[in-house]
A and B are shown apart, each in its own frame.
Chain A
């Protein structure tokens, strides 16, 4: 047994060069091929978009405090909820985990120097920027009031929808290709660049979920692309593929749109599930329970996601037989989701659970995702969906899944990998307080919306009848949204604060065993000098707490993979 210093995991913190300090200047960032820098740029961009989308959300909530609408007229309200939806879906949730965190973590988890196609990766980011500019530009070219779904014939009718439709769909089209290229990159990277010892069923579960996501991105997103392209052509040249007045079919648009947009829900939620698998296992210091069930359930969700789109259209006028078939298949998605929840719970059994901020988000995810999943049952069931469709019940349901689950997973992952990305630790007490505020505010905002919806409040209403009993719930919901806003500002405060005042992070602050915890925090420019060898990344019994560095290190009395090579070089 040689000295501790020889092992990468125990190298002194911030010893010299790292990816942040490797080169300097704007060009060294904006044209970098380093996946870590690209991931970080995505992170900043996505969070900026999140701020913008969040402002629109607060405008929408404030408007609904009183029945006749507090601050906006009908047109401004319609623009506000459209921009909220468009920004949050296309600019925030879809790229948040794969493009920002995935880009940073995935190659390091594989012990690779970079993704398979670094130039394509950079190109994806530049596409994202261009797409974002187009999408936001739609606000200034006449405005966009179609809702993020761009339903026809409203969106293609020059008389109806405002002038921002073409810039917006162009933006969504470009963002779609950004997402496709990221997905392609990750598929090839996972196929070709796995290290020695990492078989498919030894991959960290985050990689499984990113892989399943990438498959959906590659196969579903082009269908959205062609649909939006047809929509733009139609609006510009009056060719009526989706316009009944010109011989087309508006319901066909819905089929095509949801063929992408339902799988897109899993593009959002699957990576979050992967993060939660990591969070629960690492912070419970306990081997993940039922690895293969979790891995296979990701694949199952990816496959089912392609054949359930019709459940968005139970009241659209498609045939009853189709409705029955889609309802049946829809219920099949419930199973892999339930399996994951049970496996996460079982992982906590007999664990040693750290109540740090990341783990709180992991547990918060289980709570909120359970509500999101269970309320999906009402919507998959035909007779109840007829009543609930297009009401606030649906709004509440998909926010529980897209925000309460996907975004919570992203925030949890951000807390988890923040020390690795920046080399700084956040103030964990501030993190816990912000979590509680967020969690309470979240449920206040969205649980009340279930009540609104089941009592008949339709979606996308700028005003509502004063005598229908809706206002009470709307007020509660708005108060909750303000609480969340405060919580997000707290997060921004302590994250940015940690950069200046945070304690230096050790290589492995949480006791993780996947490869990203075996390089320094922040990682060096090349990640690893040689691709390391890996073992079971959920077997934490080979780690011990090291008081000197404030992190976890290999136990001296147990062998770990690659040890002989290290001993030899030392």
Chain B
């Protein structure tokens, strides 16, 4: 997009966009926006979990014995938590003023997120092999077993979304000037990944209950 007709600068200094007095004001607005986004996503995931739990609770023929969750799920869980911790470490390193610390932590976060996504895709195939018979059995079996893909699929979509700011931050940390706005983005990204953690744990718990 080249046609930015709004002046990119104002009296307060370079890099301030739009209506803000200064970079700090822009970061604060960003964090308000982040919390609004998380509220929306919380309703989104909450709605899905509630729908599936409601069906599970009211169904009389819910299947009793299903295959255990693939082991990859537990690796995913560990790597996602690791990624989240790495983000926090990056924020802490940034506070200390350690550029190397930020770089190392961001790189580990990106690797953790990559492992998570890979494990997920693997788990989908493993699960498919495990439940292939049940899929064609009857409606309830189909519903119960596909819940795995529906739940994790929606989560992975948000992990992929989270990879974008993560990748941008790695890029900034390695090769670009470290500004107030980018520092703000780091804090926000960390919060977003913590949120993904919480959602993931709620999902694993739900799957544990219903499967």
Q: Do chains A and B touch in the complex (CB under 8 A)?
A: yes
Residues of A within 8 A of B143 (CB): 239-241, 246-248
**Would you call B47 and A256 a contact (CB within 8 A)?**
yes
**Would you call B18 and A33 a contact (CB within 8 A)?**
yes
Interface of B, secondary structure class, is helix
**Would you call B47 and A226 a contact (CB within 8 A)?**
yes
Q: How far is the CB of B143 from chain A (nearest CB, A)?
A: 5
Q: How far is the CB of B1 from chain A (nearest CB, A)?
A: 6
- Most A CB atoms within 10 A — which of B3, B19, B32, B139? B19
Q: Is B65 located at the chain interface by the 8 A CB criterion?
A: no
Q: How far is the CB of B175 from chain A (nearest CB, A)?
A: 23
Q: How far is the CB of A502 from chain B (nearest CB, A)?
A: 26
**In this complex, what residue of B is CB-closest to A117?**
B33
**In this complex, what residue of A is CB-closest to B139?**
A246
Q: Is A349 located at the chain interface by the 8 A CB criterion?
A: no
Q: How far is the CA of A525 from the CA of B7 in the complex (A)?
A: 10
Q: How far is the CA of A234 from the CA of B167 in the complex (A)?
A: 34
Q: Is B201 located at the chain interface by the 8 A CB criterion?
A: no
Q: Is A350 located at the chain interface by the 8 A CB criterion?
A: no
Residues of A within 8 A of B142 (CB): 238-240, 246-247
**In this complex, what residue of A is CB-closest to B18?**
A114
Residues of B within 8 A of A22 (CB): 5
Q: Is B37 located at the chain interface by the 8 A CB criterion?
A: yes
**Would you call B32 and A192 a contact (CB within 8 A)?**
yes
A184-B33, A240-B139, A248-B55 known; A32+B44 contact, CB < 8 A: no
Q: Is A83 located at the chain interface by the 8 A CB criterion?
A: no
**Would you call A33 and B19 a contact (CB within 8 A)?**
no
Kindly supply a per-residue 1/0 record for chain A positions 240-264, scoring 1 wherever the CB is within 8 Å of any chain B CB and 0 otherwise. Answer: 1101011111001000100100000
**Would you call A192 and B25 a contact (CB within 8 A)?**
yes
**Would you call A118 and B139 a contact (CB within 8 A)?**
no
A188-B32, A192-B29 known; A222+B43 contact, CB < 8 A: yes
Residues of B within 8 A of A113 (CB): 6, 18-19
A193-B19, A239-B143 known; A23+B5 contact, CB < 8 A: yes
**In this complex, what residue of A is CB-closest to B28?**
A192
Residues of B within 8 A of A246 (CB): 138-140, 142-143
Q: List 17 A-B contacts (CB under 8 A).
A: A28-B5, A115-B19, A117-B33, A188-B33, A192-B32, A193-B29, A220-B43, A226-B47, A240-B142, A241-B52, A241-B143, A246-B140, A247-B138, A248-B55, A252-B55, A259-B47, A526-B7
Across the A-B interface, the 4 shortest Cβ-Cβ residue pairs: A246-B139, A247-B140, A222-B44, A113-B19
Give the interface of A toward B (CB within 8 A). 22-23, 27-28, 31-34, 107, 112-118, 120, 180, 183-185, 187-189, 191-193, 218-223, 225-227, 229-230, 233, 237-241, 243, 245-249, 252, 256, 259, 525-526
